[in-house]
A and B are shown apart, each in its own frame.
Chain A
Amino acid sequence: MNTLVNIKNLSVSYFTYAGEVQSVRGISFDIEKGKTTALVGESGCGKSVTSKSLLGLIEKPGVIKEGSQIFFEEKNILEFTDKQWFQFRGKECSMIFQDALVSLNPTMKIGKQIMENLQNHNTDNLPLSKIRQKAQEMLELVGIPDSRSCLDKYPHELSGGMRQRVMIATALITNPKLLIADEPTTALDVTIQAQILELMKKLQEKMGMAIIMITHDLGVVAEIADEIVVMYAGKIVERGSNEEIFYNPRHPYTWALMKSVPRLDLDNKEELVTIEGTIPDMIHPPKGCSFCSRCPYTMNICAEHEPPNTDFGDGHQVSCWLTDPRADISSVPFQTGGAVNV
């Protein structure tokens, strides 16, 4: 088995002032060892909440609902005790965040912050000098020049790209099996973005960890992802390999997402597609398909019933009524049917 993480029926709700916000509504997917899985969707679709669940970082008023399971190497991490969590976080699975400036403690030196992760999981009883040396090696590895003096700097003295490199060094110093990257390039300049993605790819080859890349930027996804999971309003609407999703999207939302970014490799005369409307109210999620109100091909059934999950082989799965052979697919510009088992 090459599966590292197996998420089954994960549901997370936030109990807020206005009511229960159902951020994630029963999603299931796998993460392969050493592969990169991209979680794609608009803000508020539940992708960050999904990643936080993986580290047990859902806090009040958020609650992981009964019946959810997350297996990490066959252990259900949702049943972990506090102590098991402390050992798990940072060691088995690390996380990097969108804005490295606020994710680093402003009054603690860089070196100390990197070393802290290894010190928390110092099972080999390395002496402090060794840990410091390891931290310096990590800084070299992530491409920070003058790594020795960087150890004694404060976060505000580095540039945005350098800070994100420090975050990566911190996350990877323990050699984790899974790295969760929550929009790691969103706050960076485009040129720096490419450098960071390149670095992550290189480090993945070298260290062999799996990566969950959370992003709304399809450029990032195309660059780095092996598998893509498209989320919409707390549900997975489509998932499949990078090529399948990019070249053969079968869900109107995925299709519109792909067409909403300008691409250099396709015919430039193609018009960009916009998705009208906003994501639905997650306190009262719609009865049927959640994309229903924004979908240009809505049928009567869509508003009434949730679409079933249809498998097209090779892990390409779609949740949409359009894949039903009885569907009205007139003027639908992408391939819908042809499922392996209807």
Chain B
Amino acid sequence: MLKYCLKKAGQVAIVMLLISFFSFAIIDLAPGDISSMYLTEDMSDAEKQIVIEKLGLDKSMPEQYVAWLQEALKGNFGVSLSYKTPVAPMLTKRLPSTILLMGTSLLVSLALSIPLGLIAGYKKNTWIDNIISGFAYFGMSIPSFYFGMLMIILFTATLHWLPSSGMHTVGVNTPSDTFQHMIMPVLTMALSTMASKTRYVRANTIGQLSEEYVLASKAKGCTPAKILRKHVLKNTLLPIITILGMNMASLVCGSFIIESVFGWPGVGSFAMEAIGKRDYPIIMAYVMLSGFILVAGNLVADILYSFADPRIKRGIDIANGK
């Protein structure tokens, strides 16, 4: 089991390296001279030279990359071009609010999509399945930022129920105020990740119901409710764990867009701002952070799954000669 975890962790490291190298290379290709953002008119050529050397800009891309990587591994992602302060603390300061948003959305979307998918799968091709599947189609096809805008139009512009932007009302810092600010972004994000999960649970339920062990349970005199609860549920939900891992991508990218729509003070809207200013150290750090959340999410999901499914766990142990 340990060996399996290590192997998976190794894969994570490789993907992270690839992502970092890829992003670094792209940024290196970017038009415009980065050094110009650090240099001022009144510097002498010698001073300019010192700055350029300090930034490592006189070196080749691979050398710069290795230097960056060494620092990044120590948690140093360089200095922001626009704020002139270290990048890492700025990001970590904003990380909690992003995690709050992502975590809540994940829970909401799970709490809704699992029962909906189960019902739709069990009641396949009935009116209730049609409604749920139609809803999933809707969620799959609507751009998340558009759904967010529609919510703002409805709940802020028309009904004046909810605040449209930010995390707190100025000068107020109560949980209920934050909660009010959270409702729209959380629902928007939950909807966009729910659609695929609901469809997946539905398809899985249908697949499991057609398995022969279901027929065998019927032959044992199990009632439909018992078959669903005792047999189908576990087998349907196990693969959801891996889907959760894959969902990290839509969560990370979702937070990027949704934070911008709702002015949520997280890492996503911060990175958005950095993109506008072409502040590469921040962009690079953000890519690494998001990539890490994403890949680590996949890793945790894989490992959890292998613990939860007896077939895989024992299979791995046998493969490792235990």
Contact = CB atoms under 8 A, between A and B. Distances in A.
B221 A121 contact: yes
Interface string B297-322: 00000000000011100100000000
A116 B211 contact: no
Interface string B209-223: 001110111111111
B221 A88 contact: yes
Contacts of B160: none
For B218, B234, B309, which residue has the most chain A Cβ atoms within 10 angstroms? B218
Given A104-B216, A154-B310, A154-B314, A87 B231 contact: no
A254 interface: no
Question: In which size bucket is the chain B interface?
Answer: 20 to 34
A294 B50 CA distance: 96
A89 interface: yes
Contacts of A167: 216
Interface string A160-175: 0000000100100000
Interface in A78-93: 85-91
Contacts of A106: 213, 235, 310-311
A102 interface: yes
A103 B222 contact: no
Contacts of A57: 215, 218-219
B238 interface: yes
Nearest to A116: B220
A117 interface: yes
Nearest to B311: A156
A86 B309 CA distance: 30
A99 interface: yes
A107 B309 contact: yes
A4 to B, nearest CB: 18
A138 interface: no
Interface residues of A, number: 29
Contacts of A97: 212, 215-216
A76 interface: no
B238 A89 contact: no
Given A97-B212, A108-B231, A55 B219 contact: yes
B212 A99 contact: yes
Interface in A126-174: 154, 156-157, 167, 170
A317 interface: no
Main secondary structure, interface of B, reads helix
Contact of B220 (A90, A108, A156): A90
A336 interface: no
A90 B212 contact: no
A86 B223 contact: yes
A69 interface: no
A221 interface: no
Contact of A87 (B213, B221, B309): B221
A129 to B, nearest CB: 20
Interface in A182-209: none
A107 B235 contact: yes
B221 A102 contact: no
Contacts of B234: 107-108
A105 interface: yes
Contacts of A88: 221
The 9 closest A-B pairs by CB, nearest first: A90-B221, A89-B221, A90-B220, A103-B216, A95-B219, A120-B221, A117-B220, A102-B212, A105-B213
Interface of A: 55, 57, 85-91, 94-95, 97, 99, 102-108, 116-117, 120-121, 154, 156-157, 167, 170
11 contacts: A86-B221, A87-B221, A95-B219, A103-B216, A105-B217, A106-B213, A107-B238, A107-B311, A116-B230, A156-B310, A167-B216
Given A99-B212, A156-B311, 16 more contacts: A87-B221, A91-B221, A97-B212, A102-B212, A104-B216, A105-B213, A106-B213, A107-B238, A107-B310, A107-B311, A116-B217, A116-B222, A116-B230, A120-B220, A156-B310, A157-B314
